[in-house]
A and B are shown apart, each in its own frame.
Chain A
């Protein structure tokens, strides 16, 4: 079974530029998560999808971040315009169905973003 796929693996941009990350979850997983991980910290949830609907985006900085999962499979996270503090690893994860307590989240390799 293929794992969670993410691209690109690395991205370097200048502040005020825009960037987009792509994620393809494990086949059959209805729930998809985007996390931001600052160096030396645990992951911080940005947004949680169930199929093509948003379950929670309370921690997504909506003035600059946006995410979509239009067909309920793969997803895109965008930052526009980027700030220096957005430098982090962006992790995508998926699980069968968040509504079943204790569902295991499986993570992709992440995208390392450096904003100069």
Chain B
């Protein structure tokens, strides 16, 4: 069965600190995709990144970086020099198999609070 685990329910840090959000996944598929979405208080889910299972290169986008490690089935997300605007719930998701119409398997989300 496919599963996404975000063990951190809530993280609170002071502005300018670095913070890492953990994501661990389970799948038997050899080809799969992983996603991160941000959900600010306004409620919209904002797409951040997509990574396929054959590309283990780390990704950096400004203050955001992602570390994909197939050996540990993890796809962690780091925010460097956090800002108050980063406060949101962050979701990690995994594509299901074609048998499940490639529907997204969602983690429970991590609520990130950045204090000024």
Contact = CB atoms under 8 A, between A and B. Distances in A.
Nearest to A107: B45
Given A42-B108, A43-B45, A104 B35 contact: yes
Interface string B20-45: 00000000000111010100001111
Given A43-B104, A102-B102, A112-B43, 16 more contacts: A41-B109, A48-B101, A93-B45, A101-B95, A101-B102, A104-B47, A105-B47, A105-B104, A106-B47, A107-B37, A107-B45, A107-B47, A109-B42, A109-B43, A109-B44, A110-B43
Interface of A: 41-43, 45, 48, 55-56, 89, 91, 93, 98-99, 101-110, 112
A39 B106 CA distance: 15
Nearest to B52: A102
Contacts, number: 56
B102 to A, nearest CB: 6
B103 A45 contact: yes
Nearest to B100: A56
In the complex, the 8 A-B pairs of residues with the closest C-beta atoms, listed nearest first: A42-B106, A102-B33, A107-B45, A110-B43, A109-B44, A56-B101, A104-B50, A55-B101
